[in-house]
Homo-oligomer: A and B are copies of this chain.
Amino acid sequence: MQQILAQRAVVGKSDHALPAMPKRLDEVDILAQIAKVADIIPGQCFIREGDPAAHYVLVTAGSVRVFKALPDGRRAITGFAGPGDFLGLAALDCYATTAEAINAVQIVRYKRLDMAPVLAAFPALATLLLVAAASELVAAQAHMMLLGRMNAREKLAAFLMGRVVARNRDVALPLARIDLADYLGLTVETISRAFGALKRDGMIVIHNAASITICDYLALKALASGADPRLARH
């Protein structure tokens, strides 16, 4: 479904130079009309907390970090986004978060104001957005549990488990420690020490800062699921 939207967006882009004289609007045309593709360079921020929420944004390439910041600089990363993820769902009048490109990113913007007729003409789109929002909510709630009730080791274990793809025990960590810290509500030093602890306990092997391997999958899973905080002690 995301692919369809992205496709439309591309169509929209190539149509961009055509005369703005629509014959008859079907879903494709509507979507194309309100879509605009953009390339974002690494580090650039393309959604800003507090700005009027003018667009929905679909990420089509690259990785994005989504965060909130306090006036004194403290930062909380609320999530990461990649190809197929929607941004701007968490917005009423204004965006509630900032979105920043981690690497080279491509996005498609859909004007929010113009969405109403599209939702009417293309009901499946409403369901799609609703499912996307529901997914984000589920993730957010799991993350609240993590932030509020788990200790450093459990947080890291949960994060690592969440990054396991298909029984493969090699886990890639394509993000800086500071991002991981702001995501887990810790400091980089505590992240380092938690990695060290998991290593000492034989749960993981650390190849380098960006790559580890899970040794004791079950123990890590137990830790991550919060079986008992005492299991998480030194």
Q: Which of A86-102 contact B (CB under 8 A)?
A: 89-92, 96-97
Expressed in whole angstroms, the Cα–Cα distance for A126 and B118 within the complex equals 12
Expressed in whole angstroms, the Cα–Cα distance for A225 and B147 within the complex equals 19
Expressed in whole angstroms, the Cα–Cα distance for A144 and B123 within the complex equals 32
Q: Which of A40-96 contact B (CB under 8 A)?
A: 68, 70-72, 74-76, 78, 89-92, 96
A148 within 8 A of B: yes
With A138-B96, A141-B140, A144-B140 as contacts: A228 and B72 at CB distance below 8 Å: yes
A149 within 8 A of B: yes
A143 within 8 A of B: yes
| Contact assessment for A90 and B149 in the assembled complex, using a CB-CB cutoff below 8 Å | no
Residues of chain B within 8 A of A148, CB atoms compared:
76, 147, 182, 184-185
Residues of chain B within 8 A of A206, CB atoms compared:
none
Interface residues of A (CB under 8 A from B): 68, 70-72, 74-76, 78, 89-92, 96-97, 116, 119-120, 123, 126-127, 129-131, 133-138, 140-145, 147-149, 182, 184-185, 225-229
